[in-house]
Amino acid sequence: MSDLMLVLLAVSILAGGITVAGVLVWWERRLLGFWQDRLGPNRIGPFGIGQLGADIIKLLFKDDWVPPFADRFVFVLAPTAIIASMMMGFAIVPFAPGVHIVDLNIGLLFFLGMSGLAVYSVLLGGLASNNKYALLGGLRSASQMVSYEVFMGLSLMGVVMITGSFSLVDIVEAQEEVWFCFSQILGLFVFVIAGIAESHRLPFDLPEAEHELTAGFHTEYGGMKFAMFMLGEYLGLALISCMIVTLFFGGWMGPSIFGDWVPPFVWFSVKVIFVINFFILLRAAIPRPRYDQLMDLGWKVMLPITLVNLAITGAILLWMREVV
């Protein structure tokens, strides 16, 4: 791809990502409404899509206030970290054959690193607010991220073992015959759960946990700074969905029975939308666990499953190599 095309792609991903995150806010509210026998926001514009614009106007016109007791520099800096790291994560996602910004040979590690950096946003936001609820939210998110990142990375190693590469393009191409969601079902299971915890969405939104911590780490935030946290959260949701589709559901490739008349990007989008809706369904259906239950689940259930998956995958690969 030429440099101009790359710049265009980067800009369109930037604009598209933010638009998608904005639309997701409306879509999630609408879908949650339907699942709770309500209608959700349907007043402004067709199907209520104008709610997006109304929300932006509201947030833009809010007083941009920094509490006098907060650490001003870090307080303002914190919301940008989540957006920056999430947008960086999109750089390695292959949307269609040849349509990606970079094909890093350490693509997967880059993604894990970027999602790891996003925790700084929550952590610094919680610390800089100088508020006990925010601090507790920040503390929780730090320990949640640290423990869930361990097996988030490990759960992907099965995929890497089969492919023999960290590059996402290679991983998608390795799923030509069978998607990894069949051979790596345990890895998928763990990665989905770790992904929710990583983007701290319900049921794992303990850093926010409005029933006990008012709003957790963003208690003191308002206006556009709050909007940036929300944007980051929805970008994270979109990124995790993209990664699940890329790593486990064959990326841009559709099932072979449909032939190749459907463009690869359409396949990719359909799958991503499906996964996002699944995440919203999880939010609607599953209650939030207690904090110690969250940690128990992480270290006593998820980590063993990951290790078993890793051992089995390695053993089968070794056995197959001997047979061949």
Shortest reach from residue 249's CB to another protein, in Å: 19
290 in contact with another protein (CB under 8 A): no
185 in contact with another protein (CB under 8 A): no
CA distance 156 to 195: 12
CA distance 273 to 24: 10
Question: Within 17-36, which residues bind another protein (CB under 8 A)?
Answer: 33-36
Rg of the chain over CA atoms, in angstroms?
Answer: 20
Closer CB to another protein, residue 40 or residue 79?
40
308 in contact with another protein (CB under 8 A): no
132 in contact with another protein (CB under 8 A): no
Shortest reach from residue 294's CB to another protein, in Å: 15
37 in contact with another protein (CB under 8 A): yes
Cα angle 21-24-28, degrees, rounded to a multiple of 5 = 150
CA distance 106 to 100: 14
Binding part of the chain for another protein, among 135-143, 229-237, 282-290, 291-299 by CB under 8 A, reads 282-290
Summary count for the chain: helices (H), strands (E): 13, 0
299 in contact with another protein (CB under 8 A): no
Tokens, residue 125: 């936001």
The sign of the dihedral angle between the CA atoms of 214, 216, 221, 222 is negative
Closer CB to another protein, residue 7 or residue 285?
285
- Residues paired with 99 in a beta bridge: 96
319 in contact with another protein (CB under 8 A): no
Shortest reach from residue 154's CB to another protein, in Å: 21
Shortest reach from residue 49's CB to another protein, in Å: 17
CA distance 191 to 153: 8
CA distance 56 to 45: 15
Binding part of the chain for another protein, among 141-149, 255-263, 276-284, 311-319 by CB under 8 A, reads 276-284
Per CB under 8 A, the list member of 5, 8, 14, 39 interacting with another protein is: 39
CB atoms within 10 A of CB 135: 18
281 in contact with another protein (CB under 8 A): yes
Closer CB to another protein, residue 37 or residue 292?
37
282 in contact with another protein (CB under 8 A): yes
Q: State phi, psi for 261 to the nearest 5 degrees.
A: -80, -15
Q: State phi, psi for 96 to the nearest 5 degrees.
A: -160, 170
Binding residues (CB under 8 A) for another protein: these are 33-39, 281-282, 284-286
